[in-house]
Structure 1
Amino acid sequence: MCGIVQANAASGMAVHDDCKLKFLELKAKRTYRYIVYKIEEKQKQVVVEKLGEPANGYEDFTASLPADECRYAVYDFDFVTEENCQKSRIFFIAWSPDTSRVRSKMIYASSKDRFKRELDGIQVELQATDPTEMGLDVFKSRVN
């Protein structure tokens, strides 16, 4: 699959077109529950690693994040307001476990803001170094 890749002057990291296209599908059509993005260091670009089906839940999402490698992810979180309205918020998660390589943490940290800007429509951002920092309770507290 060929896509136009734009280089990022700051970190030299490019963002594959597919990253934005899949995000737009999640945002506009709710085609996916979540998207996991990976930085391919050799190609110096961010690519889509995994797509979660709308029926996939939070457990599927957390299971798709590697225990000792950094990732970016987007999660479409459904919730019910106090007024009993069904709503959703799009979360951007910067997953950077303590056990991941220092070089990897640095690359993900330096590319994050630029990458996040490519995804127009992020409503909440979470930084997580272990699963408790992005538990369902954290999601719920951030939407209210």
Structure 2
Amino acid sequence: MSRSGVRVQPECTTAFDELKLGKKFKYIIYGLTNGNTEIEVVKAAPAAGSSEEEAYEDFMAQFPENGCLWAIYDFAFKTAEGAPRNKIVFYAWSPDGAPIKAKMVSASSKESLRKSMSGIAVEVQGTDFDEVSFDTVLEKCMKGR
């Protein structure tokens, strides 16, 4: 349980394991239940079917301008040498336009979700879309290789 008293539903870690080990999902969006008592899976997108750019565009479309969420993305890229790589990226999205209470609950609940997942290579904190853009995340992934 987090400092905010919010609990992570077991389905959150199950979906993460299916992304990480089973390569079943490309990304997972997490949010709070209506009563702000639990973190739940909001959407888990299938891994196959589109280019990396199309998948990332679809992923970004899930980020609300005025709401908070957490997400996991299986980021595929090529190294400077051209070798294919994947890194699991954790996103904490808390835009400037989100209500103060939502930002506070999101911040105080993030660690309990983050700690329930092992194997995350990169963490991205975003308050605007530039901070979570494909190029910005690609740069972070390239640095950590």
TM over 0.5: yes
Match of 2:117 among 104, 116, 119: 119
Aligned-pair identity (%): 36
The aligned residue for residue 129 of structure 2 is 131
Question: Are positions 1:76 and 2:69 aligned together?
Answer: no
1: distance between equivalents of 2:64 and 2:44? 14
Per the alignment, in what secondary structure is the counterpart of residue 19 of structure 1?
helix
Check 1:17–1:134 CA distance in 2 against 1; reply closer, same or farther (3 A cut): same
May I ask how many residue pairs the two structures share in their alignment? Answer: 137
Q: Which has the higher contact order (CA 8 A, sep 6+)?
A: 2
1: distance between equivalents of 2:33 and 2:99? 14
1: distance between equivalents of 2:122 and 2:31? 20
Match of 2:3 among 10, 14, 17: 10
Please identify runs of 4+ aligned residues in structure 1 that moved more than 2 A. none
1: distance between equivalents of 2:32 and 2:21? 25
The aligned residue for residue 101 of structure 2 is 103
Structure 2 regions of 5+ residues with no counterpart?
A: none
Deviations 1:49-94 (A, max 9, x none): 0111213510000001222110000011000112221110000000
Structure 1 regions of 5+ residues with no counterpart?
A: 1-7
Deviation at 1:43, TM superposition (A): 5.4
TM-score with structure 1 setting the length: 0.90
- Residue type at the aligned position of 2:138: K
Contact 2:77–2:84 (CA under 8 A) maintained in structure 1:
yes
Alignment RMSD = 1.2
2: distance between equivalents of 1:106 and 1:72? 14
TM-score with structure 2 setting the length: 0.90
1: distance between equivalents of 2:90 and 2:139? 15
2: distance between equivalents of 1:132 and 1:17? 32
The aligned residue for residue 20 of structure 1 is 13
- Residue type at the aligned position of 1:38: G
- Residue type at the aligned position of 1:142: K
